[in-house]
Structure 1
Amino acid sequence: MRARLVVFPIRGRIWCFSRSADPSVSVSEASSQATTFKELRENVSISGKSFSANAELLVDFVANKMNKAWIGLEKAPEGSFKNKVHGLGLRLLSRVKPSEIFLRSITKDITRVEVIYPSSLDARLVRRRLRHVAMRGTIIHKKYLYGSVSMLPLTSSLAVLPMPNVPFFWNLFRAYSHWRALQGSERLFRLVSESSINKKEIEQKDSRSENHNSPEPYWVLKPSVELESLARRDEDEDGLSQTAIKRICKIYDLDTNDVIKYRKLG
């Protein structure tokens, strides 16, 4: 599967890295996930699956249950206790860094990426920045994954209190989020590293092949004049204005709230 990544400077030396939304993919992923314990048991019991594959099924099942519980809190009446817990959750989620959200979006089924960036940027610089984000993510999210997991036994002991165990579920979510971001970091770095094949060698191999079909690269860099124009418009000392950001997000199907988070970094 190919994913489209959009990269552009948003404020000073701070760049935005985001993936365009693909509704068809999220629908297919949701349909393939187990929704009951019976379905989970049947999927896990299928012969031939590795331990890591079964572990991922379990993690996805728990994440799906947490997502449904979150939706239930969102629909709670205004002023109710559940509504206040939802408000607390929103404040906590607003602290999640946009780079983590970006790396979570790089799923294991992505085999190629298309990188769109302003035409004024150097392609090698764009590639280095992506490699840096991926490499840094493997270090940071592995560290915080271990930290979140180590806190689960402690926070689970708070279940005896007569109220929702928010600390436990928050640490459970953070462990899941860091795990997904770690997987995305490793996947992105692998794609970037494997794409550094000498083009001349590829062309020579193609010239000797019978079908002369050029192999599709693991990623494609696409400079965009349109994105360059949008990124330069409404620019001031604080970087791109929210108006310009919303315009870019609308054209390239990006999450506006996640992109605006990059503007607040520093």
Structure 2
Amino acid sequence: MRARLIVFPIKGRNWCFSRSIDTSVSELGYSRTSPTLKDLCKEISSNGKSMNENAELVVDFVSDKMNRAWIGLEKAPEGTFKKKIYGLGLHLLARVKPSEIFLKSISKEVTEVEVTFPKSLNSRLVRRRLRHTALRGTIIHRKYFYGSVSLLPFTMAFTVLPLPNIPFFWILFRSYSHWRALKGSERLLLLVSDFSKALKLDASNENGKEIASDDHGINDSSIPSLVLNPCEELGKLLGQGAGYGVSRRVITDICKAYHLDTKEVLKYHNSV
């Protein structure tokens, strides 16, 4: 699967990294049947799965349950306790850094990325900044993942209260979020670091298929994992203000043109 990434400077060295929203995927929503705990145990007990694959199954199961619970809170009537919890959740989510949201969007299904950036930027610089973002993400989110997991036993003590254990569910969500960001960082680093051969081997092993090989065991004629796309139109939208700071109006126009999450991209602007 190809992911389209949009990269542009907000002000000086502060750049925006965002993934274009795939409308065909987002329209699917959660119409599929929610897996049960019995289904999860059946999948884990099946033969031929490694420990990492089983861990991914558990993470996907927990993610599905959290997303469905969040949708339930969103649809709760105004003034109810559930709606107040939803408002608190929105306040907490607003504090999550946009770089984390970006890295989480690089899922394990992504096998290549197309990077769209202003034509005025050097392609090597864009690639270097992407690699730095991915490498930094592997360090930061691994540290915070272990830190969040270590707090889970302490937050479970709040279950004695006659109220929903909000601290536990928030720390559980942060553990999941850092895990996804960590895996996204590792995937992005693989895609932008000339490791396309290793990626092809990884994909072939997952699909159980063999790929045509040359003397080195890899078909080098395959599609590259990284496509750099200098865009003149994006440069025109940015205008001459990128060095002094891009306005909120310009950011909104870019988000509409390239199908970006305006709320998340504006976080880059607010952090300047």
Fold match by TM threshold 0.5: yes
Q: Which amino acid aligns with 1:3?
A: A
2:207 match: none
CA distance in 2 between partners of 1:86 and 1:145 (Å): 24
Counterpart for residue 61 of structure 1:
61
Structure 2 runs not aligned, ≥5 long: 198-214
DSSP-derived class of the 1:129 partner: helix
Task: Indicate conservation of the 8 Å contact 2:111/2:191, yes or no.
Answer: yes
Give the deviation of 1:22 after TM superposition: 1.3
Match of 2:246 in 1: 240
User: Unpaired runs of 5+ in structure 1?
Assistant: 198-207
| Equivalent in 215, 218, 223 of residue 216 of structure 1 | 223
What secondary structure does 1:194 align onto?
Answer: coil
Alignment correspondent of 2:265: 259
Superposition deviation, residue 146 in structure 1: 0.7
1:45-124 equivalence runs, <5 A = 45-124=45-124
Q: Determine if contact 1:7/1:18 at 8 Å carries over to the other structure.
A: yes
Report the CA distance shift for 1:31/1:77 in structure 2 as closer, same or farther (over 3 A): closer
Measured after TM superposition, the shift of residue 224 of structure 1 is: 0.2
Which amino acid is 2:80 matched to? S
State whether residues 195 and 219 of structure 1, in contact with CA within 8 Å, keep that contact through their aligned partners in structure 2: no
Residue 235 of structure 1 and its aligned partner are, at CA, apart by 6.0
Q: Which amino acid aligns with 1:169?
A: F
Cα distance in 1 for residues equivalent to 2:33 and 2:182: 21
Return the alpha-carbon distance in structure 2 between the equivalents of residues 25 and 168 of structure 1: 30
Secondary structure, aligned partner of 1:244: helix
Counterparts of 1:50 and 1:27, CA distance in 2: 32
- Alignment-derived partner of residue 202 in structure 1: none
What RMSD in Å do the two structures reach over aligned CA positions?
2.4
Aligned position for 1:183: 183
CA distance in 2, matches of 1:217, 1:240: 32
- Tell me by how many angstroms 1:42 deviates: 2.4
User: Matched residues in 2 for 1:28 and 1:74: separation?
Assistant: 18
Does the 8 Å contact 1:106/1:184 carry over to 2? yes
Contact conserved, 1:233 with 1:244, CA < 8 A, in 2? Answer: no
In structure 2, C-alpha distance between the alignment counterparts of 1:53 and 1:216, rounded to whole Å? 26
The two structures have a TM-score, normalised by structure 2, of: 0.86
What aligned pairs does 1:149-188 form with structure 2 within 5 A after superposition? 149-188=149-188
Shift in alpha-carbon separation, 1:233–1:30, aligned structure 2, 3 A? farther
Identity of aligned residues (%): 61
Residue type of the alignment partner of 1:224: C
Q: State the partner residue of 1:24.
A: 24
Q: Tell me the distance in 2 between the aligned counterparts of 1:216 and 1:188.
A: 16
Shift of 1:194: 2.1
Aligned length: 252
Measured against aligned partners, the alpha-carbon deviations of 1:125-173 in whole angstroms (never above 9, x if no partner) come to 1011001100000000000001100000000110110111111000000
Shift of 1:14: 0.7
3-state SS in 2 of match to 1:82: helix
**Shift in Å, 1:29:** 9.3
Secondary structure class of the residue paired with 2:46? coil
Indicate conservation of the 8 Å contact 2:190/2:196, yes or no: no
Structure 1 residues 192-239: Cα deviation after superposition (integer angstroms, max 9, x where no partner): 112589xxxxxxxxxx9xxx99432110101000000011277694x2
The corresponding residue for 2:237 is: 230
Counterpart residue type for residue 225 of structure 2 = Y
Deviation at 1:95, TM superposition (A): 0.3
Paired AA for residue 139 in structure 2: I
User: 1:40 and 1:24, CA in 2 relative to 1: closer, same or farther beyond 3 A?
Assistant: farther
Q: Relative to structure 2, which stretch is displaced further, 215-224 or 42-51?
A: 42-51
Distance of 1:31 and 1:52 partners within structure 2? 27
Q: In structure 2, do the counterparts of structure 1 residues 24 and 43 end up closer, same or farther at CA, with 3 Å as the change threshold?
A: farther
